[in-house]
Structure formats: structure tokens, C-alpha cells
């Protein structure tokens, strides 16, 4: 599975690659990102094609194999004229993470199989949980409880063992009893971290400043900005 990118300018290409790289890391997906070339092997791919390109290749070529086509332009009017090409979607440049995430939701069948997963045995039931769907986890007497976007799952793994197998940029240990997916944090309050499933993960006084700084820098990275040496609690 690959993301193929055809942009009109090196800066546009670099910006597109950056937002795609951030999305793959947030989603815990294994997807190669490469420039479009005239000769492409027939494998599943998602092509991002610049309608503003001045290289003589104005229209996207036929693609072999399962694929999706997203057309990109600086002008929203180009979306109307692109309907005849039957694209999967249209993206306004520069493409931001929110728009990209919404667009890729239209072709989940292409990239869903690339996601990292946890294999969990719980009460004799087997679960294959994509890491991006793990919202937060809490320690329990025997292992931990995994709060996903679909259900709460009991796992025999301890919180420390679980933490070792998760990407550190995305998951943060909060005190001793909790582990949170920073991408699922919706807001910060005096009572703690408000998660996407409605739960509130408490923050102790001693750890609050450090957690806020980490979350602030995570938000900067997610938005394509350079991290700061100290988050100063800003979100």
C-alpha cells in the first residue's frame, strides 16, 4: 500500500508528504509515501494529484490495481471542473490534517489492513484492536482495562508491559495508573484530560505541568510545527 504524490512545486510536495507522514504516525499505519512516476507497479495506492501542475501532465493517468484518487488545487473552483475525472475526493491546498483525515475516511478499505494492532485474549475472546482506536488504559488488579472507541476490554497485560509496545510520541503515561492516547485528548480541564470517549483522566499536581508541556508539543507536531523546549502549559 502506498501514498503517491504528484505536486507542482517542491514546497507543495514537501508539505503534502509532511501531513501524510503525520497522519500515518497518528493512525499507526505502515504506508510508503513516494513521488508519482509514470511507471508504477500495480499495487494498492492512493494518489494525490495536483491540478495546478505545470509539468505538462495535467490529468492523472489510469491507475492499475485498487486505488483512490484525490485531486488537489489552490482554487476551489477546480473541484467543479474535476467531477468528470470521477475522483474519490477534492482537497484544497495546502492540505491540512483535518481535511486529509476526512478524505481518507472515504477509502478505508485500502489502508485499514496497514494498521498496527494489539492482539488481546479477554475472557476467552480474541480481539484485534487497532492501536489508533485505543483511547486510554487504566491499571487493574490483574492486568489493565483498555478503553477503545468501541468497548472496554480487560487485558492480562500490565500497564507497564503495554506501554513498552506503544509508540511513545502518541501514548503518554499519566501517573502510575493511566496511559492516554494524546490524539484522543479533546480538552484539558482542572479535573484532568478530557478524552474522546467522554472519560476524564485525572492529573496529579506533581505531574500536571510535565503532562501539559508534553501535550502542547504533541499538538505543535500534529499541526506541523516545531516543538518548543518548554510547553509552558499552552494548548
What does the pLDDT look like over 65-113, one tens digit per residue?
789 999 999 888 887 877 778 899 999 999 999 999 999 999 999 999 9
DSSP 48-74: EEETT--SS--SPPP--SSEEEEEEES
Q: What pLDDT score does 58 carry?
A: 66
pLDDT digits (tens, 9 = 90+) for 110-153: 999 999 999 988 777 888 999 999 999 999 988 999 999 888 99
Q: At which residue does the C-alpha cell 475522483 appear?
A: 87
pLDDT attached to residue 52: 86
Between CA 96 and CA 29, with CA 105 as vertex, the angle to 5 degrees is 80
User: What is the set of domains in the chain, with CATH numbers?
Assistant: 2-113 (3.40.50.2300), 116-222 (2.40.50.1020)
Query: What's the pLDDT at 233?
Result: 43
Task: Return d(Cα 138, Cα 146) in angstroms, integer.
Answer: 7
Q: Average pLDDT in the 5-27 region?
A: 96
Is the predicted pLDDT of residue 34 greater than 50, yes or no? yes
Q: What is the pLDDT of residue 47?
A: 94
- Whole-number Cα distances in Å, 220 to 12, 36, 169, 213, 226: 20, 29, 12, 11, 6
In the chain, alpha helices (H): 10-27, 78-81, 97-104, 108-111, 159-164, 205-222
The mean pLDDT value for 174-202 works out to 94
Share of the chain above pLDDT 70, in %: 93
Residue 230 has what pLDDT?
Answer: 59
Cut 0.85: pTM above it: yes
Q: Output helix, strand, coil percentages for the chain, rounded to the nearest 5.
A: 30, 30, 35
94 prior amide bond cis, ω within 30: yes
Confidence of residue 229 (pLDDT cuts 50, 70, 90): low
Residue 56 has pLDDT above 70, yes or no: no
Taking residue 69's Cβ as centre, other Cβ atoms within 10 Å add up to 19
> 235 pLDDT band (50/70/90 cuts)?
very low
pLDDT of residue 42: 64
Backbone angles phi, psi at 40, to 5 degrees: -120, 140
Amino acid at each position: 500500500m502506498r501514498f503517491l504524490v504528484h505536486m507542482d512545486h517542491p514546497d507543495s510536495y514537501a508539505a503534502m508528504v509532511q501531513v501524510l507522514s503525520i497522519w500515518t504516525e497518528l493512525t499507526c499505519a505502515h504506508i510508503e509515501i513516494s513521488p508519482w512516476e509514470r511507471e508504477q507497479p500495480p499495487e494498492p495506492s492512493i494518489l494525490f494529484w495536483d491540478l495546478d501542475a505545470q509539468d505538462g501532465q495535467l490529468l492523472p493517468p489510469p491507475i492499475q490495481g485498487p486505488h483512490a484518487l484525490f485531486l488537489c488545487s489552490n482554487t476551489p473552483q477546480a473541484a467543479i471542473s474535476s467531477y468528470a475525472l470521477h475522483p474519490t475526493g477534492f482537497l484544497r491546498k495546502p492540505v491540512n490534517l483535518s481535511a486529509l483525515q476526512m478524505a481518507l475516511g472515504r477509502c478505508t478499505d485500502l489502508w485499514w489492513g496497514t494498521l498496527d494492532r494489539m492482539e488481546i485474549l479477554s475472557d476467552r475472546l480474541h480481539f484485534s484492536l487497532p492501536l489508533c482506536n485505543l483511547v486510554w488504559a487504566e491499571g487493574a488488579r490483574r492486568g489493565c482495562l483498555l478503553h477503545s472507541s468501541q468497548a472496554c476490554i480487560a487485558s492480562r497485560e500490565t500497564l507497564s508491559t503495554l506501554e513498552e509496545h506503544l509508540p511513545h510520541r502518541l501514548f503518554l503515561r499519566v501517573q502510575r495508573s493511566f496511559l492516554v492516547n494524546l490524539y484522543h485528548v479533546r480538552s484539558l480541564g482542572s479535573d484532568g484530560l478530557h478524552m474522546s470517549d467522554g472519560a476524564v483522566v485525572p492529573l496529579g499536581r506533581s505531574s500536571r505541568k510535565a503532562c501539559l508541556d508534553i501535550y502542547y508539543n504533541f499538538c505543535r507536531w500534529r499541526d506541523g510545527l516545531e516543538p518548543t523546549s518548554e510547553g509552558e502549559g499552552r494548548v
